[in-house]
Chains A and B, each alone.
Chain A
Amino acid sequence: MGTLFRRISIMVPYIWLLLLFLLPFLIVLRISVSVLEYGSPPYIPQFDLAAGWDSFIDSLGMLNLENYVFITTDALYRNAYLSSLTIASISTLLTLMIGFPLAYGMARASDGIRPILLMLVILPFWTSFLIRVYAWIGILKPEGLLNQLLLTLGLIDTPLTILNTNTAVYIGIVYSYLPFMVLPIYATLEKLDYSLIEAAQDLGCTALGAFWKITLRLAVPGIAAGCLLVFIPAVGEFVIPDLLGGSETLMIGKVLWTEFFNNGDWTVSSALAMILLFLLVVPIVLFQNAQAKATERQG
């Protein structure tokens, strides 16, 4: 009974992954190699499992990679990927620059106020993500709160155009993903033994040197985790560029959405999603390796 129970409990995560990750993945993969057709569903399915094993083998021989070829020929997609990666990279960097000092301050705060600070970081999650992004429209639009404030203070004469630009997208991403950067960094900094920094100073390091050689170095796993947690969803981000970005904002998430809902092209959008997935698998695997090494190092 014991072994049976153990087997079942081990299987639970696998079943979970199978049903909620592998199966949808295979469905999308299948659509991505199918042929576009106007109908419902809007594609000719490949790998018709109902037709039996032989036809499955047959269809392997005539795999339709046209959708992938099409994506590589159209500069729009390439630009969208590149632009997404650029926007995600810059946003990640900005989030890190804001998130690290924030996490550092939290970790060094007194025990009494630390839970309150932690609460404040988590608090935005209690409001819907969509509503929070909408709220930024109210802040950033030409007659919005920010412009009103700056005009009242006399810092500007004419309202700034922030909404519907890439700047607004950066603001939106940094704002939305900041907790994902702060929390893992905070977790590593909070564990950091302060006597290590004192020891470094005692051995001749300046305060800045000790920060660089010890604090920052030991926070690397947290920084890496935070960066990936921001970078990965930011690449495929759709809501923020759609609501805050303008015509110049080109991001793959938005392109994919347009392809799927406006053009009804399921096959190309599935292929786009597949390529995005493989683009993101690389950093994830790298990160996992680094994490495993770090765990091994720390024992």
Chain B
Amino acid sequence: MKSLGNVRRSFAPWAEPDSVAYIRFENVTKKFGDFVAVQNLSLDVYEREFFSLLGPSGCGKTTLLRMLAGFEEPTNGQIYLDGQPLKGVPPHKRPVNMMFQSYALFPHMSVEQNIAFGLKQEGMEKHAIGERVLQMLKLVKLEQFAKRKPHQLSGGQRQRVALARSVAKRPKLLLLDEPLGALDKKLREETQFELMDLQEELGLTFMIVTHDQEEAMTMSDRIAVMESGSIEQVGTPAEIYEAPSSRYVADFVGSVNLFEGTVETVDNETIQLNAVDGFKLEALCERPAVELPEKGITAWYSIRPEKISVSRTKPATSTNAIDGEVWDIAYLGDMTIFNVRLDSGKVIKASVLNATRIVEDPIGYDERVWLSFPANGGILLDR
């Protein structure tokens, strides 16, 4: 069986023709004065999905989230939640809860009171509130901190209180705005897995905004990569990484090498490309939805650093191989990154897994090396 990357869980309602979208953005546009934050955007998200909006700051991802929460109304278009149009429904009437980037914990209330706040608004019975709060405190492992005020907690603890507060009402949809942004790397990685477990445990739909691609890749079922108010690509982490739809997506998610070239021949699904760097490239067009490129157009062959091999000896075939000079070496522990300068002046990144502790005869600076890769190592992009 072949698969594009490894799959976290078998969950793919978007691939089934009869599944119904839980959240639907229909041609949504949002303008702030002259500034267009979201441009004619349509998107379907499914129940129980862990969905990430990924993009640089100012790409409109937070605006999308705020429109779902009800803090902003779309200028044009319609948003549906569970089949119901959301237009005109105030924030407090939406079955949606949000975890804020700043956490927005009420400073005058204890951890307990913060978590109970939403339940009280609901008019839940006092006894039931106490039970639910305890349950939430257990969930985020903060039982001993119930009586503390937010300012008496560490950043990580505050983040967990914010999370507990936002899931206490058992919303069907939880919105998370950069939930891990303020945490340090180690805590962030731990929390990512906690969030995933929580989502599965409570059976919620998560919609998360982040600018951290690694975070999005780790947690999401699907990712929408956004740029200036539009969605560039929606796909599983593997699709986004291994089959990006454009140079923008390829470049935004992970690191990538792009070879510009002219399409020379198109034979079945094998495409020959004349790279501007002075070598011949062969690519496979494997996506059925994408049309084969025409002869003579400019295209870009996008390949990830780990799919390029580095060797001193010239490979057997002359396609998909080019030589250059080692310009920089970065040893990262788990892998080594070689920056190889081609004769055209372009610097190519190639990463090599450090599978053994001891390297016999390592490649050094200023050495001439050959870079080679299989035809299906990269993907041909036309934009």
Contact = CB atoms under 8 A, between A and B. Distances in A.
Contacts, number: 66
Interface residues of A, number: 20
Interface stretch (B51-59, B97-105, B339-347): B97-105
Given A198-B91, A297-B149, A298-B151, A203 B121 contact: yes
B100 A199 contact: yes
A206 B92 contact: yes
Interface string B103-133: 0101110000000011001100000000000
Interface in B67-107: 69-71, 90-92, 96-98, 100-102, 104, 106-107
Interface in A241-299: 297-299
A108 to B, nearest CB: 15
- Majority secondary structure, A binding face: helix
Contacts of B151: 297-299
Contact of A203 (B71, B102, B117, B149): B117
A143 B70 CA distance: 55
Contacts of A217: 108
Given A196-B106, A218-B107, A202 B149 contact: no
A201 B152 contact: no
Given A214-B106, A297-B149, A299-B151, A195 B100 contact: yes
Nearest to B116: A203
Nearest to A299: B151
A205 B121 contact: yes
B61 interface: no
B48 interface: no
Contacts of B108: 217-218, 297
A118 B97 CA distance: 36
B169 A204 contact: yes
A207 B121 CA distance: 12
B91 A201 contact: yes
A136 B207 CA distance: 60
B92 A193 contact: no
Contacts of A199: 98, 100, 104, 106
A70 to B, nearest CB: 48
Interface string A38-67: 000000000000000000000000000000
B169 A298 contact: no
A71 interface: no
Counting from the closest, the 8 A-B pairs by CB-CB distance are A204-B121, A203-B118, A299-B151, A199-B104, A195-B104, A201-B91, A204-B92, A202-B98
Interface of B: 69-71, 90-92, 96-98, 100-102, 104, 106-108, 117-118, 121-122, 149, 151-152, 165-166, 169
Interface of A: 193, 195-196, 198-207, 209, 214, 217-218, 297-299
